[in-house]
Amino acid sequence: MVAGTMQIKGERFVIVPESEYDRMRELARELADGDGPPLPKPDSDGNVPAVEYGRASLARKLIRDRRRVGLTQTELARRADIRAETLCRIEKGKSTPDMATFKKIHRALEKAERQVAADER
């Protein structure tokens, strides 16, 4: 992405391509809709708890990706061959998946993404 800056009346602005602006707006809208657990607040030194932040970030991305390909939690869990309760806990930021579970979810989402792309052609 190419971005530029300009200054108007002493205020600095970043200029990005319209497609990038649209992408950022959509992402902000998704995050504002309360999709997923809240990110932990920083302490007085500006630090956030790493594990809680990681869980919340993963949960938000997972929810966004799952919705983008049009799957419910139950359907994604079935396709990933995991329990729906497990996926629910991950999406709530209550647990961190082990590597095997993460890979199953990732593969199921990639396959669903390819199906969506093929359907759009």
Query: Could you give the number of structural domains in the chain?
Result: 1
The predicted structure's pLDDT at residue 3: 83
pTM confidence score: 0.71
Domain contains 26: no
The predicted structure's pLDDT at residue 30: 63
DSSP H or E segment with residue 46: none
Domain contains 59: no
Domain contains 54: no
The Cα 4–Cα 16 span in angstroms is 7
Domain contains 110: yes
Q: Please, what are the averages of pLDDT over each run of 10 residues along the chain (121 residues)?
A: 87 90 76 76 94 95 93 97 97 96 98 91 82
User: What is the domain range of residue 121?
Assistant: 71-121
Domain contains 44: no
Domain contains 18: no
Radius of gyration in angstroms for the set of CA atoms belonging to the chain, rounded to a whole number: 18
Task: Dump pLDDT digits (tens) for 16-41.
Answer: 998 888 888 877 766 655 678 999 99
Domain contains 95: yes
Question: In this structure, how many other beta carbons lie within 10 angstroms of the beta carbon of residue 52?
Answer: 14
The Cα 64–Cα 69 span in angstroms is 9
Domain contains 62: no
